[in-house]
């Protein structure tokens, strides 16, 4: 009895202690354990400017071109002369997917020519005038100047109404008749400005990601996408070294003809040029012998199969990740000389060259062989680099997307000469590249934000977040600069934005490897939490039941 009583007493005390212990276990588990587990299993996600990214996603551009129209003496009647200097703004909406997206704004300033400009415009030839006028201009990237000369002026040749020079100026004939001269020439001025800056088509091409594929032409597939650098390789293919000893002075040719072109494009991308000579490299196709012209023919249908067997041997730098442009000069074997390329109508091609979109170009160089009895065993050949570089430069321009805008007959375009590129062609390239860069940044950042939103357990490090902020800020700067007409700084800002956004998107740490389906989540957590949770829960249930019973007890005894 006493033992029972003694046993009952500590039992009650123990029960009390046991209750308190169970409650404290539950309290620690809830108050300390759950927050600790939550904190230690969450991933570090730095904050991103989601608002800025979605604003960028709506992508409304305004492209401003500052144009000054200069009237020479004798083009305007007195009354209209007195209205100058005059400023005007013309805006146009370019529709994309039937929604207005790009506004092109032409800021025209009309003024009359100064004395030095007038002197330049009365020079003997229009090329000299162009050179003299260049010295008088500010020559900002993206700006244009149109000079209007009297209709009867001898500066422009007969039948030519407009001359577009090597730099950023054009010379056009004014109209003679009565009425408002400004209104009369405005259509022609608009045509000139569009040819020298951008057209609707070129902007639509630059935004090609957002346009359905069937509306794009082959022109979009040919040029390389804007990239931070390019690698250009010139290769000489000599399949018959026992007959031909071919030498080419590629270094001098590159320095004279290709390097000025690349220097002009220096702000657009980094270029690296290399060259090589490949021996015993044959074309994948054997040419047909044509009796009529006693020469060998490569037809247009067999050209696509020429490139592949050679490409394996061309090689590319293992360290650079830039796209490669290959230019091949093929000297046919003695038994297959001369070798001509035919187009699909069967006519021989003048340049004897062809190119492949986004890859490069191939030119076939035929050698004159002396009469067989006088021929030495090994014929030494010095390649005429000028002829070769003319073709390669043309192909290089096409592969960069510098194509001609179709213009009416009376337009005279100055050829770019040894520089390979006129200033206004560079401007055209910069306009489309800037728009393309900003569109790329917007798509990249939008998809990155969507990805990070959708997958909750990707870690977002601080440097990724800072790159995203930098990209958004640069893209906004670029759009502001485009709207105010500063093409140079807009392009630089867009390039920075693209670099930052690519670095953020392709950061190696953003790998989504952890996909847990729900049943796997249960499988992981149940063995950890269940052994601990079951005793606590059961004891809590017991405590509650006893508390309820003890509440009923006093009522019962009462």
Partner 1 sequence: MAAALPAPRWLLAGAAALLWACCGSAATDGIQDQAEHFFRSGHTNNWAVLVCTSRFWFNYRHVANTLSVYRSVKRLGIPDSHIVLMLADDMACNPRNPKPATVFSHKNMELNVYGDDVEVDYRSYEVTVENFLRVLTGRIPPSTPRSKRLLSDDRSNILIYMTGHGGNGFLKFQDSEEITNVELADAFEQMWQKRRYNELLFIIDTCQGASMYERFYSPNIMALASSQVGEDSLSHQPDLGIGVHLMDRYTFYVLEFLEEIHPASQTNMNDLFQVCPRSLCVSTPGHRTDLFQRDPQNVLITDFFGSVRKVEITTQTIPLDPNLGGLETRAPNDEMATEPLKYAEQLPVAQIIHQKPKQKDWHPPGGFILGLWALIIMVFFKTYGIKHMKYIF
- Give yes or no for residue 257 binding partner 1 (CB under 8 A): yes
- Specify whether the CB–CB gap between 270 and 263 falls below 8 A: no
Near partner 1 in 183-212, by CB under 8 A = 209
- The contact mask relative to partner 1 for 315-354 (x = CB under 8 A, - = no) is -xxxxxx-x-----------------x-xx----xxx-xx
> Which tokens in the block code for residue 266?
């220096």
- Left (φ > 0), alpha (ψ -120 to 50) or beta: where does 46 sit? beta
The residues in 432-491 that bind partner 1, with binding defined as CB under 8 A, are 443-444, 447, 450-451, 455
Residues from 537 through 556 that contact partner 1 (CB under 8 A) = none
Q: For the chain, how big is the Rg over CA atoms in Å?
A: 37
CB of residue 462 vs partner 1: minimum separation in angstroms?
A: 17
The three-class DSSP label of residue 106 is strand
The two three-digit tokens of residue 501, written as one number = 């956004």
What DSSP designation does 93 have? E
In whole angstroms, what separates CA 101 from the centre of its chain? 19
# residues near partner 1 by CB under 8 A:
77
Q: List phi, psi (to 5°) of 158.
A: -65, 140
C-alpha to C-alpha distance for 476 and 494, rounded to whole angstroms: 9
Query: Binding of partner 1 at residue 249 (CB under 8 A)?
Result: yes
| Phi and psi torsions of 538, nearest 5° | -60, -40
Tell me which stretch binds partner 1 (CB under 8 A): 126-134, 146-154, 308-316, 488-496: 308-316
Contact between 279 and partner 1 by CB under 8 A: the answer reads: no
- Scanning 26-34, 88-96, 387-395, 543-551 for contacts with partner 1 by CB under 8 A, the matching segment is 387-395
Q: How far is the CB of 146 from partner 1 (least distance, A)?
A: 25
Q: Can you tell me the distance from the alpha carbon of 209 to that of 97, in angstroms, rounded to the nearest whole number?
A: 12
Comparing C-alpha atoms, which of 61, 100, 55, 99 is closest to residue 445? Answer: 55
The residue from 394, 405, 483, 536 that contacts partner 1 (CB under 8 A) is: 394
Nearest-approach distance from CB 350 to partner 1, in angstroms:
7
Q: How far is the CB of 269 from partner 1 (least distance, A)?
A: 15
Q: Binding partner 1 by CB under 8 A: which of 15, 60, 225, 548?
A: 225
> Considering only 102-110, 251-259, 367-375, 528-536, which stretch makes contact with partner 1 by CB under 8 A?
251-259
Site for partner 1 in 413-432 (CB under 8 A): 415-418, 420
Q: Kindly state the smallest distance separating residue 351's Cβ from partner 1, in Å.
A: 5
Q: Residue 110 or 365: which CB sits closer to partner 1?
A: 365
Which tokens in the block code for residue 423? 């200033």
Least distance to partner 1, CB of residue 64, Å: 29
Contact 163, 171 (CB under 8 A): yes
Query: Closest separation between CB of residue 322 and partner 1, Å?
Result: 9
Q: How far apart are CA 492 and CA 474, in angstroms?
A: 9
Least separation in angstroms between CB 399 and partner 1: 10
Neighbours of 179 (CB within 10 A): 10
């Amino acid at each position: 009895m006493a033992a029972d009583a003694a046993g009952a007493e500590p039992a009650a005390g123990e029960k009390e202690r046991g209750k308190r212990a169970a409650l404290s276990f539950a309290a620690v588990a809830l108050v300390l354990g759950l927050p600790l587990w939550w904190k230690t299993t969450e991933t570090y996600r730095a904050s991103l400017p989601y608002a800025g990214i979605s604003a960028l996603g709506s992508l409304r551009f305004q492209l401003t071109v500052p144009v000054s129209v200069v009237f020479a003496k004798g083009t305007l009647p007195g009354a209209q002369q007195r209205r100058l200097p005059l400023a005007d703004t013309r805006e146009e909406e370019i529709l994309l997917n039937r929604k207005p997206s790009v506004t092109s704004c032409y800021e025209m300033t009309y003024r009359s020519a100064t004395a030095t400009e007038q002197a330049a415009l009365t020079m003997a030839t229009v090329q000299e005038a162009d050179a003299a006028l260049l010295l008088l201009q500010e020559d900002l990237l993206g700006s244009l100047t149109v000079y209007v000369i009297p209709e009867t002026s001898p500066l422009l040749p007969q039948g030519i109404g407009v001359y577009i020079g090597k730099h950023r100026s054009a010379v056009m004939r004014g109209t003679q008749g009565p009425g408002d001269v400004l209104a009369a020439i405005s259509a022609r001025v608009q045509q000139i400005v569009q040819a020298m800056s951008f057209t609707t088509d070129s902007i639509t091409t630059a935004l090609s990601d957002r346009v359905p594929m069937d509306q794009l032409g082959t022109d979009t597939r040919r040029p390389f996408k804007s990239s931070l650098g390019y690698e250009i390789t010139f290769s000489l293919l000599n399949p018959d070294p026992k007959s031909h000893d071919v030498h080419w002075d590629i270094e001098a040719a590159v320095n004279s003809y290709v390097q000025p072109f690349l220097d002009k494009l220096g702000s657009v991308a980094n270029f690296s040029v290399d060259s090589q000579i490949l021996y015993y490299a044959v074309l994948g196709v054997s040419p047909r012998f044509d009796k009529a012209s006693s020469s060998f023919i490569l037809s247009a249908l067999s050209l696509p199969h020429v490139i592949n067997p050679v490409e394996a041997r061309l090689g590319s730098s293992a360290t650079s990740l830039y796209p490669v442009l290959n230019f091949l000069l093929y000297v046919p074997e003695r038994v297959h000389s001369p070798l001509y390329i035919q187009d699909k109508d069967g006519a021989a091609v003048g340049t004897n060259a062809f190119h492949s979109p986004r890859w490069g170009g191939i030119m076939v160089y035929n050698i004159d062989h002396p009469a067989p009895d006088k021929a030495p065993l090994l014929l030494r050949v010095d390649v005429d680099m000028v002829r070769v570089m003319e073709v390669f430069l043309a192909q290089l321009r096409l592969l960069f997307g510098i194509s001609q805008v179709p213009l009416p007959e009376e337009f005279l375009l100055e050829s770019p000469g040894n520089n390979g590129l006129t200033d206004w062609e560079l401007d055209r390239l910069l306009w489309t590249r800037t728009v393309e860069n900003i569109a790329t940044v917007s798509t990249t950042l939008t998809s990155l934000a969507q990805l990070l939103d959708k997958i909750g357990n990707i870690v977002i490090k601080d440097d990724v977040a800072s790159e995203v902020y930098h990209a958004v800020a640069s893209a906004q700067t670029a759009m502001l600069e485009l709207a105010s007409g500063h093409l140079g700084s807009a392009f630089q800002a867009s390039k920075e934005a693209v670099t930052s956004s690519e670095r953020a998107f392709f950061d190696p740490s953003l790998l989504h490897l952890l996909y847990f389906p729900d049943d796997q989540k249960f499988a992981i957590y149940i063995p950890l939490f269940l052994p601990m949770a079951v005793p606590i829960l059961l004891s809590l249930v017991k405590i509650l039941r006893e508390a309820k019973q003890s509440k009923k007890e006093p009522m019962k005894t009462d």
